[in-house]
Structure 1
Amino acid sequence: MPGVADRPGREPGEFELIARYFLRRDEGEATGLVLGPGDDCALLSPSPGQHLAVSVDTSVVDVHFPATAPAWAVGHRALAVALSDLAAMGARARWCTMALAIPRMDEAWIAAFSDGFHALCQDSGVALVGGDVTRGQLSISVTVQGEVPPDKALRRSGGQAGDLLAVTGTLGGGLGGLKAWQAGERDLEHDLLKAYLLPRPRLAAGLALRDLAHCAIDVSDGLLADLGHLCRASGVGAELELEQLPLAVGLEAALGLDAAQRAALTGGDDYELLFSLPASAVDTARQRLAASGDTLIVIGRLSESPGIVGVGDERVAGWQHFPGGSS
């Protein structure tokens, strides 16, 4: 007997789409999920003694990803950038909800999108517990929820003068990958393109930095912009060592050293963790991060003097949707 999708001339409705592509029973069995999708709300039971960390992120076509990007990569990316905020708090990811707006019915695209989204759910231990599908400009809003012990959350406000500044992974790959896409590169095994379209949320790194890092943020708007957020929240300044910036693989070859360093400073979309910690904790942190395949590179220190020094005449701000405003 033919299924709903096989009936000529009939498009599935919103609830059929949700049931077909976004309800996964294996994810619905996650511990702490009392009632999953199918009712008006999901019912969740956080672990005793934990604070709930919640963040939301919206990805819009041709703003955050190209319209012609592979659908499964769009699904991965939409969840990854939201999970990155949990990583920066040192939270363990638990659940997410997702609202998808699509301009027209395209089941092949939706199926591939859901595959990419669910694959990262599985890799990250996250359950999709609700959401919505509607017609409109292609955009995806993902709300993530995680848990963190009350005294373990990594905040932006804990930095101390004298702390070393460090990052996980490499920088500049987000902008480098965007430029590669704009130049016609389509191989998602290309290092820069992978960094841009398939970022890896540093969830394990965030957990490893608990008790060691004094403050943390994820590098989404650019290193300088996000370091500025840390400095303002902590009431400190920063001294950067430009030559220590870990540049993404292939970035210098693609752009040249000066442009590669600028991409690392201001490009954004890297989703690495930027954090401060005392010098005495660096070796322990590096060992913990290595256990999950993450790296730690010291790029400077926090100081008592306000402002960020060590980047020459660099005055280009990081990414802002509304450049005239403040963030």
Structure 2
Amino acid sequence: MMEKPNFMTMQVDLDKLRDRDIEFRADDFALASAEEKENFIEKAASVSYWKDAMRRFRKNTVAMVALGILILILLFAFIGPIFFDANYATQVRGEENLDPSWAHPFGTDLQGRDLMLRAMYGARISLTIGVCASAIVLVIGTIYGAISGYIGGRVDDIMMRIVELIYSVPDVLVVLLLSITIKEPLTAWCNSSKSSFASSVAEIGPSLIAIFVAFGLLYWVTMARIIRGQVLMLKEQEYVTAAKALGAKGPKIIKRHLLPNCIGQIIVTTCLQIPSAIFLESFLSFLGIGVAPPMTSLGAMAADALGGINTYPYRLIIPSIILSLLILSLNLVGDGLRDALDPRLKK
């Protein structure tokens, strides 16, 4: 019920205004002009989710600096070798163990190979392995987590117990066992086959194939748990209920409604998975079970430099700096994307 106006209170307010000698003019009640309306009402243009995320990402100074460093490393790895006439395995007689100079900015190694060129190829190999391994994690983890979260119930319990079991498996031990197990069959197949794919496998070595297999077996569990949690939350939304009422099946709902709304978490998790893959490859290459010589990576270059660390310390420092900048920039870009794509962190 609407409350009746209190005329006694209104009379007291009018008396107070009269006592203050407030004078009103006709201009005070004039209509506002168009310019005054524009100044009073702040116009806000309609901004999409992705444009708003990119705007917040560009405001993140640390992430933008890391992105600039990452772009420089990408240019160094993929564009730099174009300006060289040789490749990573070219040996030049009489130019062994040269110090850094204008002709060889990073110097040369014991076989007379240009270390700057090898660092370019090493960064390329590390980046390629990181991206490929993250793609494997993306596909397996996204599909597994979406199915587990959407079906729920007993199926979800069983699938999550499998994830917890995989979490308890030591990943480095699995990579070592796989590299030992598949080395001889892969080597025999590469020697017998004449295809270009077999030659590529022989060039990179069976240990890297073992790394890819290990990522396909072990490293997708984090992605699966993240996607499962998002799907468990999203499947209770009204648009999913409406899709079910209209007769949409589970695979279509996952593909058209659930996964597109998890794209932010998928991008961030994938970006943060790339440095993990690069670090694992560099660590294994440093131990001598990574890329096969003469192919190189940043970890393999650091391992080769250990023998002359007292005489040629820059051979260890240069690949270590490139690897550190690469992993640090990827982590900072991933953190910036997480802050930009998460609406809960919006100021």
**Class of the TM-score when normalised by the shorter of the 2 chains:** under 0.3
Q: Provide the TM-score with structure 2 as the length reference.
A: 0.21
Larger Rg: 2
TM superposition score normalised by structure 1: 0.22
Structure with the largest fraction of strand: 1
